[in-house]
Amino acid sequence: MNAKKLSSIVVVVFVLATAFLTRIPDIGPILAKLAGLIGIIVALLAIWYRNAMVKQIKQDYKEEIEMKQELQKIIQEQQAQTTTSTPASAATPKPQVRPTRTTSRSNLRSKLP
Q: What DSSP string describes 23-55? A: TSTTTHHHHHHHHHHHHHHHHHHHHHHHHHHHH
In a domain, 54, yes or no: yes
Q: What is the pTM of this model?
A: 0.45
What sign does the dihedral 39-41-47-50 (CA atoms) show?
A: negative
In a domain, 64, yes or no: yes
Rounded CA-CA distance 100/31 in Å is: 93
In a domain, 63, yes or no: yes
Q: Measuring CA to CA, how many Å separate 24 from each of 44, 68, 74?
A: 27, 62, 71
In a domain, 102, yes or no: no
In a domain, 94, yes or no: no
What's the structural domain count of the chain? 1
In a domain, 93, yes or no: no
21-56 tens-digit pLDDT? 777 777 777 777 787 788 788 878 888 888 899 999
**Range of the structural domain that residue 80 is part of:** 3-84
Look over the chain and give the mean of its residue pLDDT values, rounded to a whole number: 76
Indicate whether 71 pLDDT > 60: yes
In a domain, 51, yes or no: yes
In a domain, 59, yes or no: yes
